[in-house]
Amino acid sequence: MSDYRILVTDPLADEGLAILEESGDVEALPDLSEDELVQAIVGADALVVRSGTQVTERVIRAADSLQIIARAGVGVDNIDIPAATACGILVVNCPAGNTVAAAEHTVALLLAVARNIPQAHAALKDGRWDRKRFMGRQVADKTLGIIGLGRIGLEVARRARGLQMQVLAYDPYLSAQRAEDVGAQICTLEELLQQADFVTIHSALTDETRGMIGAEQLALMKPQAIIINCARGGIISETALLDALNSGQLAGAALDVFEDGSRPNPDLVALDNVVVTPHLGASTSEAQVSVAVDAARQVVDVLSGRPAHWPVNMPALSEEITPGAGTRSARGHTS
């Protein structure tokens, strides 16, 4: 299988690169512009990315032998899925690798914002001892509302129950029994927002969820409530959130993701009742190794003619590259 060319355009853990290098010729080209990626993709059989690379329709249509795009992580909003599907390219992700890391970061942010930890830390570093100013709130016996009870949401629910929190969950695709298995109670979005003391979001960013939490939804929340987003920027309207925090309609927020990617709203970041981190949800050494290995193994499987473990789409592949053929073939683009 050494004649396969595998392009890696974002940093990938060495363990993942080692698996790929045993199976093909690996070319690591980080920080490519769209124009550069359009050129580099020609002749590549597999593309491995994280969140930094934008795999646009133009990039996809420039590829002449690409069989698989592997996202070393969960979110695939940086990949044009419809274009890949139309061109017969399989897209896979790695939804299990960073589950624990994201759940732990959510709990860390919940506690940080509830106890004013970053603000107290900064004040003490600045030489100010001010205990009264940073009076916090217990989370025990409070209600946590989880929007999206998938892999990460379920792990957050388990940890919240360990903190003696009551857990409500909104997920139209999950059964009440599955929620009950982790001690959560299924309810409507409106009920969750009205009853929760803390709300955390764990939904994918789709056309359906973009802007799902806007001014109308924030107005339903308790004045002392706090909202947390470790999922994807764009699910919460930052304009509406800023207004709610400034008016006292909402007590606080903790954000790991932002509408404009790595450029968060400076007015939002500047608020004393907002805790922010630069998309650290999956940033543990253990998680990065796990997703790199998962992505690499799926690339090897697909190029060897075996099915992928976590396909995101189901493209109509030509006979020459249908999984099981195990042969390299040029892929014809559809118009």
What confidence category does residue 141 fall into, taking pLDDT thresholds of 50, 70 and 90?
very high
Adjacent-strand bridge partners of 170: 147
- 192-207 pLDDT per residue, tens: 999 999 999 999 888 8
Edge to edge, the sheet with strand 90-92 lists: 25-28, 5-8, 46-49, 68-71, 90-92
d(CA 219, CA 250): 8
Under DSSP, is residue 151 helix (H, G, I), strand (E, B) or coil?
Answer: helix
Q: Residue 317 has what pLDDT?
A: 52
- The per-residue b/e assignment along 54-72, b for 16 or more CB within 10 angstroms, e otherwise, is bbbeebbbbbebbbbbbbb
Q: Tell me if 155 sits within 8 A of 287, measured CB to CB.
A: no
- 22-59 pLDDT per residue, tens: 989 999 999 999 999 999 999 999 999 998 999 999 99
Domains and CATH numbers, the chain: 5-97+285-321 (3.40.50.720), 99-276 (3.40.50.720)
- 312-332 pLDDT per residue, tens: 998 865 444 444 433 333 333
Tell me if the pTM is above 0.75. yes
